[in-house]
């Protein structure tokens, strides 16, 4: 082999080796590219899986929060509708536990725990409802036998509580008969003295009831032996009671006294009569009816009560202010609103429930 031939063969082999090396490099690059693609695919897959898990976790949170909302509704029903307090502390504790779970990052175990708590709360709420129902039935049976302090009658056909505002801090509630109801509180059969505290409590009940209803008041200190007798009285006096409720529908009583100022010694009889006539005439324009009472002092010009629609109270008050400015020699004493005692009231006697109209 000549030298030239050898050199040519060597160059050829070097070239083939270089080409093999290039192909190897390309193959390695391709393998690396494929490996990177797989890594990217795996990363994207993990991202998608993570996103799916986050979405599922969000759904779990929403379900758990819905369970919490239902549980809270259950406790509200217990507290507001049944007024039961027996299980309230325990239920409230469970609610707080569920809210704590809701604020955490949910996984399946925590979600299931929250749902379990919601079931426990519903069970507690059901126990509370049953207990409240049992106590309510016991209360009804006991009330039927107890005496009743009788405050007034209203046009109402349902059972309702006004809270513990009655005599001896007892609950004030309705005893309905058809479309009228007696307002009463449980009380022993006894004589109530006309003390400041007793009259204030009696008047407080009337004022609160008057905020929502028309009232026909009952004479102070009236007690009835039991619910059965009271219902019988309502039945026998139903027609006149309805008539009186219509008479004072949406009405209240307002009182006005006109007293001569201390620095005025004497007022002419004619002037006095003219003044009284003007005051009565002006106030009567704002009232449905008026009655005058005894003048128990020489300085008392006027002692009157007015039956006024609730919507006209402000106009009546403004009229009193105008009359005060017109007659500076007098002091106009304005009071109310009161139950319309001076126009209609109920008195219980030997013959039953008597209704007096003026």
Domain coordinates of the chain in residue numbers?
A: 3-134, 147-248, 251-338
Strand partners, 58: none
Tokens of 128: 């509370």
Tokens of 313: 């109270």
Closest CA to 78 of 31, 133, 25: 133
pLDDT in tens, 75-93: 666 556 555 555 556 666 6
The yes or no reply on domain 251-338 and CATH 3.40.50.300 is no
Tell me the pTM.
Answer: 0.60
Close Cβ partners of 171 (under 8 Å, ≥ 6 residues apart) = 161, 162, 163, 164, 185, 186
pLDDT in tens, 164-207: 999 989 999 999 999 999 999 998 888 899 999 999 999 999 99
Q: Is the Cα dihedral 331, 337, 339, 340 positive or negative?
A: positive
Q: Which contiguous run of DSSP H or E holds residue 223?
A: strand 223-224
Residues of the chain with pLDDT under 70: 1, 6, 14, 21, 37, 39-122, 125, 136, 139-145, 265-266, 349-358
Contact of 292 with 303, CB cutoff 8 Å: yes
């Amino acid at each position: 082999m000549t030298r030239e031939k050898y050199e040519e063969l060597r160059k050829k082999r070097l070239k083939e080796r270089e080409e093999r090396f290039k192909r190897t490099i390309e193959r390695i690059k391709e393998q690396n590219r494929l490996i990177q693609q797989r890594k990217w695919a795996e990363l994207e897959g993990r991202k998608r899986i993570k996103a799916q898990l986050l979405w599922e976790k969000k759904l779990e949170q929403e379900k758990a929060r819905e369970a919490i909302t239902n549980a809270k509704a259950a406790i509200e029903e217990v507290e507001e509708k049944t007024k039961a307090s027996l299980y309230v502390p325990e239920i409230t504790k469970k609610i707080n536990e569920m809210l704590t779970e809701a604020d955490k990052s949910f996984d399946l175990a925590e979600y299931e725990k929250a749902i379990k708590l919601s079931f426990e709360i519903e069970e507690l709420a059901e126990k509370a409802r049953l207990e409240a129902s049992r106590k309510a039935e016991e209360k009804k049976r006991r009330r039927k036998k107890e005496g009743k302090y009788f405050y007034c009658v209203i046009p109402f056909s349902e059972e309702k509580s006004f809270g513990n505002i009655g005599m001896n801090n007892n609950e004030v509630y309705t005893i309905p008969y058809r479309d009228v109801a007696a307002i009463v509180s449980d009380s022993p059969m006894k004589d109530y003295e006309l003390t400041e505290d007793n009259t204030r409590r009696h008047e407080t009940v009337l004022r609160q009831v008057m905020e929502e209803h028309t009232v026909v008041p009952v004479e102070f200190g009236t007690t009835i032996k039991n619910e059965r007798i009271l219902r019988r009285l309502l039945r026998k006096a139903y027609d006149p009671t309805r008539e009186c409720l219509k008479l004072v529908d949406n009405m209240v009583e307002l009182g006005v006294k006109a007293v001569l100022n201390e620095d005025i010694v004497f007022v002419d009889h004619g002037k006095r009569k003219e003044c009284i006539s003007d005051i009565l005439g002006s106030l009567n324009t704002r009232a449905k009816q008026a009655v005058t009472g005894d003048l128990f002092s020489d300085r008392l010009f006027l002692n009157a009560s007015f039956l006024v629609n609730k919507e006209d109270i402000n106009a009546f008050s403004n009229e009193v202010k105008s009359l005060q400015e017109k007659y500076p020699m007098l002091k106009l004493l304005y009071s109310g609103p009161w139950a319309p005692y001076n126009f209609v009231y109920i008195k219980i006697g030997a013959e039953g429930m008597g209704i007096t109209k003026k």
